[in-house]
Structure 1
Amino acid sequence: MAENSRSLTVGEVAQRSGVPVSTIHFYEKKGLIEGWRTEENQRRYERRILRRVAIIRIAQRAGLPLSLIKEHLDRFPAMPITAAQWDVLNRDWRAMLDERITSLIQLRNQLDSCIGCGCLSLEDCPLRNPGDQLASEGPGARLLAAAQSEKAPE
């Protein structure tokens, strides 16, 4: 892409987005954003990259891994992300966050039964051994042990 008056240096992107230069380089290395090199071998980015960086930061703040963020942003490679595209991302990410919130609430509520337990009842512990169907067959990773014994030479 040719350099134009609307392009930003990596330092300008970092300053305007509020993230370190190293993070901009990292995002580019991971394929989350892209830029180009000038004839003088300097990195340049379109100004529209600022919205994409903001979306990445919002998603990270929500606890989404970069691989998942990239997977979702790759559905919308053209910049900038439109309001309709943001609605799609928001819906998808909201569903994931709702699942995570539900899981964390359940975990928090199960912790109440741990007070004073000291993990002395691992057979009954809903956190350490939830719904263990193979406990009656003995301790340890029963499926793994079975798979290894099938592979072992006789």
Structure 2
Amino acid sequence: MKEHVQELLDECLSGATDEDLLILKQLLEGVKRKKDNENGSIIGGIFAMEREVKDGNFEISIPITPVTHNSLQIVHGGVTATLVDSAMGTLANMVLPEGYGAVTTNLNVHYLAPGIGDRLTAQATVVHQGSKTIVVDGKVISSDGKIVAHSTGSFFIFQKKR
């Protein structure tokens, strides 16, 4: 396996542009962050997610890089959705008692502006917490303060297996 990965890496490096090298660097740094437990998932590692509890809400921020771009050189809508779902889902799990988890059952994203600038930050706030579901409100904001997307999500609460 290691030999195959090395061959693939060598092939990707051969004739790589500066942008290709930047992308490879971010992907490899993401794997390292996951391996070093700096991020809990490979998605968090690759997108270099930084998490913060701020003013009683939860935020996740990512840099805007070629890894996040679509063919129009703006942040791909799926990346925006992943960012806001990660923020809302993490918050939903944070408010639960030990031994319980929550998973997304519905995600509604309204795209309002292009994802441009240096960073995107997703903010999440609990709207309702019941015994079976949690409803969370989310916003994605660009580094210039524009709201890129508004989202709501429903999360099903379950007891984790022991």
- Give 1 or 2: higher helix fraction: 1
* TM-score using structure 2 length: 0.28
Structure with the greater relative contact order (CA < 8 A, sep ≥ 6): 1 or 2? 2
* TM-score using structure 1 length: 0.29
> Considering only CA atoms, is the larger Rg found in Structure 1 or Structure 2?
1
- Give 1 or 2: higher strand fraction: 2
